[in-house]
Homo-oligomer: A and B are copies of this chain.
Amino acid sequence: MKKYITISFLLFVLSVNAQTVQSPSKQITLKFALSDGKPTYEVSYKNKSVILKSYLGIKLKGARDLDDKFRIDSIRQVTVNETWQPVLGEQSNIKNNYNQLTVALYQALADRKMNIIFRVFDEGVAFRYEFPKQPNLNYFIVSDEVSEFNLTSDHKTFWLPGDFDSQEYAYTESKLSEVNTDNVDKNNGINLKSIAGKYVVQSPLMMKSADGLYINIFEAAVVNYPIMHLDLVPNEYKLTSRLVPNAIGDKAYLQTPCVSPWRTVMVSDDARDIVSSKMILNLNDPSKIEDTSWIKSMKYVGIWWEMHVGKSTWDFAGSQNAQNAADGKLIPSGKHGATTENTKHYIDFAAKNGFDGVLVEGWNVGWEDWFGNWKENVFDFTTPYPDFDLKAVSDYAKSKGVKMIMHHETSGSVANYERHLDRAMDLMKKYGYPAVKSGYVGRIIPRGEFHDGQTMVNHFNYVAQRMAENKLMVNSHESSRPTGYSRTYPNYIAAEAARGNEFNAWSNGNPPMHETILPFTRLLGGPMDYTPGIFEIKMSFYDKTKTAQVHTTLAKQLALYVTMYSPLQMAADLPENYERYADAFQFIKDVAVDWQDSKYLEAEPGDYLTVARKDKKSENWFLGAITDENARATELKLDFLSPNKKYKATIYQDGVDADWEKNPKSYVIKTIQVTSKSKIKLSLAKGGGTAISFVPIN
C-alpha cells in the first residue's frame, strides 16, 4: 500500500435520523436512515433508484435482536484514496477509493452498541455490521441476519439455486419474478445438492434492469461467518440475506469486537465497470503474509483430464473396490493414472513446453472407497500407491526444472483432513511441492455442516493460513466461493467453487453462455481454476457412445486463458492432444498468467466478453474474446497497446465453418502487424472465441 489520503470529519447528529454519502464520482448516492428506530438504507445511481428503502439488522439467539429500538449516537465520514499492489493479479496497481460513513447505533433498552459502516465506491456500495467491545455484548450467536436488498423492478437475472453445498450449477437467465429452483434441471452432474428453498438464490447475483443498469449483489471478506445466500420474494423483487446454518441451526458464533462480512451492491450503466471492479478485493484486509516472494503464478499440466475422459482412473484397484481386496491387499486394475512412469511423461511434456508445474491426482491410497458414503477416514494424505514413487517423481521433476503440485482430496471429511494437515504439509515440504490442489467432494464431516457454513468458511481460511505459515500455495475445489480473501492470503492462489470445465466431460455440461457470466459473478471473489484448454472437444473421441462435449469451439478454449483471470492456469487436455494441434497449443504456451494491466473492451453478461491484458514481466499483450451460443462480429480498437510500438499479432480464431456443436475444432491462425492505432475485426462462431497474442517487434 503506497499512497494513503484520508479526510475525516465527525458529525454529531444526535437529533438527525438520516445521512447520505456519495461515491467519489458523485454518481452513486447512499442514504442511511433510522425508520422508527430500525436501520434502513437506499441506493441510487445517476438519480435512478437502485435499492429502495431496505431494512438492516441482526437477530441473536437467546438475546434481544439487534434490529430495532436504535438511536444514532454519532455519524462519522472518512474518504480513502489509496493504491496497492497485489502479489499476483489482473493489474499491478489497484486503486481503492471510497467515501465511508460509520453510523454508531445505540439500543438503549439493552444498553448495547452496533455500528453500520457504509463504503461508497464509484462502482457500488458496501456495508457491514460492526460490534464494538462493550459490557453487554461479549459472546453472541447470530441466529439470522436481516439485510434487505429491495430492488425496483423485475430485472433480468443470472441465478444459481441457493444451495448450501454447491455452486456447480449452470446459470438460469430469467426475470426475478420467474425464479424458481424447482425448475432447474437437477440431472446436471452435481451429486450433492442442498437447495434451501424454491426462492433462494446464490450471491453473487448479476442482474440487468430494463433501463440498462447492471446490478450485482455479493459480499466481501467472509471471515468467521457463514456464506450469504439470498431469499427472494419474487413478485416484490425483494432479496434478504439467508445465512447458511450449522449442524444445529445457528448461523455464526462471534465475540466482540468483531464485524460481519461486507454486503455489496455494484451498479453501473456500463457492464465493464462491474466485470473489472476490484471492489471485492478492496474490501478485504491487506496481505497478512510479509514475505510473499515464494508466491508465484503457475501454468500447469496434470494427470487429471485423462481420468475425466475415462482413459485412466484415480483408483489403483477399481472404484468402490476396497472391500474386494484379498487380505487387505489391493489388486491393481491396470488403469491407474498416477503411476511414476505416466507422471514422468507429464513432467517431460511440461519441461519441453515451458510449464511450471505438474498436478497428479490419484497418487495416494484411498480412491477405492472414497465417495458418496459420508466416510470419515478416507485419505491420510501421506501414503502413495505402490506404483507412485514420490521420491523418484520429485527428483525427476527437480532435474527437469518442473514443480510438482500436490493433491489433497478430502471427500468432504474435513475433520479427517484437519487431523492430517500438518503431516500432509510436512510431506509437501519434504518433496518440494510448492502448491496443493484440494478437493471437497461430498457431504461434510463434522456431520451436519454445509460447505458454506461458518465452520467450513473458517476451515478454508485456516488451511490458507497454515499453508502460508509453511510457504505453500492452495487451490481449493468444491470450497465455498471466495470473497476476496486472496488479498489477505495471496497464497490462496485460486479456487474452483463454480461449475468448471470438467462438467463438460461427463454431464450435460456448461452452456456456451456460461463463461460470459462467470466474470460477473464467481470471478469477482477471486481467481478460478476453470481448467480451460480442451482441444478434443467431443468425448466421442474417446468412446463413440459418449455424447458429452465441451460447449465451445477450440478457439474459445484459448480465449478463456485471457477472459477467465487466474494466476494458476491449467492446460487441461492430454499431452498427445496438444501435440496434434501444436500450432494452437502455442497460444497456451505463450499466454501470461500474471498481469501489469487489464482492459475490459466489451462486456455483456450472458452474451460476450472481450478483454486485453498486459503481461507483468514483458511488453506482450494478450486478448481474449468470447461469445455465447450466438455468433458475433465486432471491431476492436487496439489503443491499449503502447503508442510507439509495432506488434506482431498472432490471431487464433474460429474457422469460417466453426460451430461449438457441429464443428468445434475448426480454427485459423494468422499473423499480422499492428500498432495502437490499428483496428481489427473479429468474427466469433456460435460458442466461439478469439485469442490474440501481441508481441512487440521493435
Contacts from A to B (Cβ < 8 Å): 133, 138-139, 246-248, 250, 253, 255, 323, 373-376, 415, 418-419, 421-423, 446-449, 455, 458, 462
Interface pair B253/A448, CB less than 8 Å apart: no
Q: How far is the CB of A245 from chain B (nearest CB, A)?
A: 11
The distance in angstroms between the C-alpha atoms of A415 and B246, with both chains bound, is: 15
Interface pair A255/B447, CB less than 8 Å apart: no
- Other 18 A-B pairs with CB < 8 A, given A247-B446, A248-B448, A376-B458: A133-B323, A138-B323, A139-B375, A246-B448, A247-B448, A248-B447, A250-B447, A253-B376, A255-B373, A255-B375, A415-B415, A415-B418, A415-B446, A415-B455, A419-B462, A422-B422, A446-B446, A446-B455
A246, A248, A255, A447: residue with the most chain B Cβ atoms closer than 10 Å: A447
Write 25 A-B pairs (CB below 8 A) sorted by A numbering. Answer: A133-B323, A138-B373, A139-B373, A139-B374, A139-B375, A246-B447, A246-B448, A247-B247, A247-B248, A247-B447, A247-B448, A248-B447, A250-B447, A253-B447, A255-B373, A255-B375, A376-B458, A415-B418, A415-B455, A418-B418, A419-B421, A419-B462, A422-B422, A446-B455, A448-B448
Closest B residue to A247 by CB, please name it.
B247
The distance in angstroms between the C-alpha atoms of A374 and B140, with both chains bound, is: 10
Closest B residue to A320 by CB, please name it.
B138
Chain B residues in 8 Å Cβ range of A375? 139, 255
Identify the 4 closest CB pairs spanning chains A and B, nearest first: A446-B446, A247-B247, A422-B422, A139-B373
Q: How far is the CB of A170 from chain B (nearest CB, A)?
A: 30
A375, A415, A418: residue with the most chain B Cβ atoms closer than 10 Å: A415
The distance in angstroms between the C-alpha atoms of A248 and B249, with both chains bound, is: 10
The distance in angstroms between the C-alpha atoms of A500 and B333, with both chains bound, is: 56
Chain B residues in 8 Å Cβ range of A423? 422
Chain B residues in 8 Å Cβ range of A255? 373, 375
Closest B residue to A419 by CB, please name it.
B418
Chain B residues in 8 Å Cβ range of A376? 253, 458
Q: How far is the CB of A324 from chain B (nearest CB, A)?
A: 10
Chain B residues in 8 Å Cβ range of A446? 247, 415, 446, 449, 455
Chain B residues in 8 Å Cβ range of A458? 376
Chain B residues in 8 Å Cβ range of A418? 415, 418-419
The distance in angstroms between the C-alpha atoms of A376 and B375, with both chains bound, is: 24
Closest B residue to A425 by CB, please name it.
B422
Chain B residues in 8 Å Cβ range of A419? 418-419, 421, 462
A133, A375, A422: residue with the most chain B Cβ atoms closer than 10 Å: A422
Interface pair B253/A374, CB less than 8 Å apart: yes
The distance in angstroms between the C-alpha atoms of A137 and B419, with both chains bound, is: 29
Closest B residue to A256 by CB, please name it.
B323
Chain B residues in 8 Å Cβ range of A138? 323, 373
Chain B residues in 8 Å Cβ range of A373? 138-139, 255
The distance in angstroms between the C-alpha atoms of A418 and B373, with both chains bound, is: 23
Closest B residue to A376 by CB, please name it.
B253
A133, A375, A376: residue with the most chain B Cβ atoms closer than 10 Å: A376
Closest B residue to A324 by CB, please name it.
B133
The distance in angstroms between the C-alpha atoms of A308 and B135, with both chains bound, is: 28
Closest B residue to A133 by CB, please name it.
B323
The distance in angstroms between the C-alpha atoms of A418 and B445, with both chains bound, is: 14
Chain B residues in 8 Å Cβ range of A139? 373-375
Closest B residue to A420 by CB, please name it.
B422
Chain B residues in 8 Å Cβ range of A422? 422-423
Closest B residue to A224 by CB, please name it.
B376
Closest B residue to A426 by CB, please name it.
B422
Chain B residues in 8 Å Cβ range of A415? 415, 418, 446, 455
Q: How far is the CB of A141 from chain B (nearest CB, A)?
A: 8
The distance in angstroms between the C-alpha atoms of A139 and B248, with both chains bound, is: 24
The distance in angstroms between the C-alpha atoms of A446 and B246, with both chains bound, is: 10
Q: How far is the CB of A453 from chain B (nearest CB, A)?
A: 10
Closest B residue to A423 by CB, please name it.
B422
Chain B residues in 8 Å Cβ range of A247? 247-248, 446-448
A139, A248, A446: residue with the most chain B Cβ atoms closer than 10 Å: A446
The distance in angstroms between the C-alpha atoms of A139 and B371, with both chains bound, is: 12
Closest B residue to A466 by CB, please name it.
B419
The distance in angstroms between the C-alpha atoms of A293 and B253, with both chains bound, is: 45
A138, A373, A419, A421: residue with the most chain B Cβ atoms closer than 10 Å: A419
Q: How far is the CB of A444 from chain B (nearest CB, A)?
A: 10
Q: How far is the CB of A456 from chain B (nearest CB, A)?
A: 11
The distance in angstroms between the C-alpha atoms of A197 and B462, with both chains bound, is: 38
Q: How far is the CB of A672 from chain B (nearest CB, A)?
A: 57
Q: How far is the CB of A63 from chain B (nearest CB, A)?
A: 13
Q: How far is the CB of A644 from chain B (nearest CB, A)?
A: 54
Closest B residue to A373 by CB, please name it.
B139
Q: How far is the CB of A413 from chain B (nearest CB, A)?
A: 11
The distance in angstroms between the C-alpha atoms of A230 and B253, with both chains bound, is: 33
The distance in angstroms between the C-alpha atoms of A250 and B448, with both chains bound, is: 10
Closest B residue to A322 by CB, please name it.
B255
Chain B residues in 8 Å Cβ range of A374? 139, 253
The distance in angstroms between the C-alpha atoms of A675 and B374, with both chains bound, is: 64
The distance in angstroms between the C-alpha atoms of A138 and B323, with both chains bound, is: 9
The distance in angstroms between the C-alpha atoms of A220 and B248, with both chains bound, is: 30
Q: How far is the CB of A465 from chain B (nearest CB, A)?
A: 11
The distance in angstroms between the C-alpha atoms of A134 and B277, with both chains bound, is: 57
The distance in angstroms between the C-alpha atoms of A255 and B373, with both chains bound, is: 9
Q: How far is the CB of A451 from chain B (nearest CB, A)?
A: 15
The distance in angstroms between the C-alpha atoms of A637 and B165, with both chains bound, is: 70
Chain B residues in 8 Å Cβ range of A246? 447-448
Q: How far is the CB of A473 from chain B (nearest CB, A)?
A: 20
The distance in angstroms between the C-alpha atoms of A448 and B245, with both chains bound, is: 12
Closest B residue to A421 by CB, please name it.
B419
The distance in angstroms between the C-alpha atoms of A415 and B374, with both chains bound, is: 18
